[in-house]
Amino acid sequence: MDNKCRMTLKLFVAMGFYERVRAGSGDLKLFERGFKRATRDLKAHKQFISGTLCKNLEDDGKYVYFNYAVFNTYEQQGSFLHDDTWTNVVLQGQGREVINHQAGFTERRVIANTHIKPLPKTPLTETTVYLIVWSQVEDGLDKVDIENSWKIWSGMECVRQQKVCQEFGLRAVTLHKRVTTNGRFHYVSRFEFTKLGDRTQRGLEVLQKLREVTPVRGIKSCAALYKPVYVYT
């Protein structure tokens, strides 16, 4: 895998971490229906490219859903347009069954197979699963040092040590940095596995190994596995 993949598009990635506030699968079905209604406005956004709603593979995971929506901001020099369609999505929300922790991110580092192009950002296979690592950074840490050492605190070195890259079909690892003032996390790393869907137990074992890694001072990270449940383009 190459250390960097050149991007021809300037992308703005809106991420949402959805925290369950009610118990019961019926409430989550209500959320999914509400979310799909909201994406009708989202897809009308001038810069919208694609989006993927994913569900946590652990029943007791804090963030039961994870949304990853990609926007092309090349013509606006990287600026995201807060137009009426975006306002409608925010005002409409996705129901009262979950709390959404949302923020905007940009891609800072990409490690990918040489044949990968910047798009698509949607899952390529029915067995695609994402390992998502979200990180909070204490004030005062050197941002250059942080991003230079991201392979360690993002968990990538731990994943490599488990020797599952080929088994799970690791396609790309992307480090995202928050660019909006709102949001709980400073960085989010997304590992894309194209063959992990039918190896859930093995994936959870690797996830546990990742959680046992000694944290880097000043950086608090958590991780979870997510399976796509709704792709909208």
pLDDT digits (tens, 9 = 90+) for 104-128: 999 999 998 766 666 679 999 999 9
Q: Residue 95 has what pLDDT?
A: 63
| Token pair in block for residue 9 | 């598009």
Is residue 103 pLDDT above 70, yes or no?
yes
What residues contact residue 20 under an 8 Å CB cut-off, 6+ apart?
27, 28, 64, 97, 98
> pTM of the entire structure?
0.92
Is residue 83 pLDDT above 60, yes or no?
yes
Dist. CA 184–CA 168, nearest whole Å: 29
Dist. CA 229–CA 233, nearest whole Å: 14
Among the residue ranges 9-18, 33-42, 83-92, 190-199, the one predicted with the least confidence is: 83-92
pLDDT digits (tens, 9 = 90+) for 5-44: 444 578 999 999 999 887 787 888 888 988 998 898 889 9
Confidence grade of residue 229 (pLDDT, cut at 50, 70, 90): very high
Residue with tokens 């660019």: 179
Nearest to 103 by CA among 14, 191, 223: 14
- The average confidence (pLDDT) of the chain is 89
Contact 64, 35 (CB under 8 A): no
Q: What percent of the chain has pLDDT over 90?
A: 64
Contact 134, 188 (CB under 8 A): yes
Q: Residue 20 has what pLDDT?
A: 87
Q: Residue 84 has what pLDDT?
A: 82
What residues contact residue 56 under an 8 Å CB cut-off, 6+ apart?
63, 64, 65, 66, 224, 225, 226
Element (H, E) at 30: helix 25-42
Q: Residue 112 has what pLDDT?
A: 87
Confidence grade of residue 227 (pLDDT, cut at 50, 70, 90): very high
What residues contact residue 97 under an 8 Å CB cut-off, 6+ apart?
20, 21, 22, 27, 28, 30, 31, 34
Q: Residue 21 has what pLDDT?
A: 80
Q: Residue 27 has what pLDDT?
A: 84
Higher pLDDT, residue 37 or 4 = 37
